[in-house]
Amino acid sequence: MKNMTRFAGVLMAASALTACGETAVEEAGPACDRTCLIDLANSYVAGLESNSAEGVNFAEGVRIVENIKPINVGEGLWADITGPGTDFSVVVPDEVRQTIGWIGMVERQGQNAIVAVRLQLDENGAISEAEHLYAGVNEESPFGTSQLANLQTPRAGLLAEVPEANRKSAEELIAIGASYYDALDDNDGSLMPFAPDCQRFENGIETAGPGESQGTLGNSEHPVARDCAGQLTSNTFAYITTIDNRRVFAADPVTGLVMGLSHFRHPMDFEPYPVTSIDGTVTMRPADEGMFADLGPFDLPAAHIFKVGADGLVHEIEAMGFTTDYNAPTGWEDEAPAAEEEAAAE
């Protein structure tokens, strides 16, 4: 894992797409421009909320994976969503790759849920791949704060446009986004360009940011750094053994947003490991104490949106994820659902 591609080396080639359903574009233009992608994300989510996939332009043989399980159109969230959620909604449109990322809130089976969506378009502007992740959101978090309170509306910084003269290219944003997983994997906060005011929220819980250490990530006598870079460098996340299925797939130069999906694996069989506190004290963190006391092996499929500001630094991270069985498949290794196979055979 230590030879994963580094920050400066993660670049993707732009796709040359020429057709766009009902909209004519220039020969080298995208099938769906930025406005089209944002509208598509909103209409797709509206379809989920209304339990109807009618009108969604799916490509023949479309693959859909929800919470790491292949599903068919009309299943999963299409059936389970019981209404819209709060006004929390963040879209990451990518003209170059013809893909869309979204994190927002819905009501699922009468309960608050945070959802991440990835949509990939084909050369004709039809959805060839769709991916959903969802997790329940509680009024209270393990830290005694409300998860839901931080998921009413997006933080202003996430939605703010970057001045045109200071915008990074989509390729540069993809590289910055990919650097997060290397920084986390290597326990080295210098591998991602974090801003001093960087905040990270996970399922509505603030897990990193300026201020004093708190919650189970800290130590009352020798607190661990809470800023985004220092927290990683402290080695507090050394229990994360593997980060699989890393896909930094969408970037929007206008807002400086970049989105990635990944699959964290935690065998929880580690030996006690050293964590360096703010005052330089090194303490050993065992597998059977503190935040680990009641945890067995588990996986955490997750989505992250990173906000890169005009200064090229990461100021906001909005993440969501859900826990599942250890060493679970990602859902993309499996064959298409049986209903799709039967339809293809007819």
Of 186, 220, 193, 322, residue with least CA distance to 261: 322
Of 224, 241, 242, residue with least CA distance to 233: 224
For residue range 315-334, list pLDDT tens digits in order.
Answer: 999 999 999 999 999 999 86
Q: Is 207 helix (H, G, I), strand (E, B) or coil?
A: strand
- CATH, domain range 20-345: 3.10.450.50
**What is the rounded CA–CA span in Å between residue 46 and residue 123?**
24
Rg of the Cα trace of the chain? Answer: 20
Question: Which structure tokens are listed for 113?
Answer: 């849920």
127-136 vs 58-66, strand pairing mode: parallel
**What is the rounded CA–CA span in Å between residue 183 and residue 246?**
13
For residue range 180-209, list pLDDT tens digits in order.
Answer: 999 999 999 999 999 999 999 999 999 999
For residue range 97-121, list pLDDT tens digits in order.
Answer: 999 999 999 999 999 999 999 999 9
| Contact criterion met (CB below 8 Å) for 166 and 4 | no
Q: What is the pLDDT of residue 344?
A: 47
DSSP class of 74: T
Question: Which structure tokens are listed for 302?
Answer: 């997750």
CA 249 vs CA 55, 176, 260, 307: distances in Å: 25, 12, 6, 14
Judged by phi (left if over 0) then psi (alpha if -120 to 50, else beta), residue 282 lies in: beta
CA 87 vs CA 105, 117, 147, 303: distances in Å: 7, 16, 14, 19
Residue 7 has pLDDT above 50, yes or no: no
pTM of the model as a whole:
0.87
Q: What is the H or E stretch that residue 343 is in?
A: helix 338-345
**What is the rounded CA–CA span in Å between residue 62 and residue 44?**
15
**What is the rounded CA–CA span in Å between residue 147 and residue 141?**
6
Residue 9 has pLDDT above 80, yes or no: no
Instruction: Return the exposure string of 117-134: e unless at least 16 CB atoms fall within 10 Å of the residue's CB, then b.
Output: bbbbbbeebbbbbbbbbb
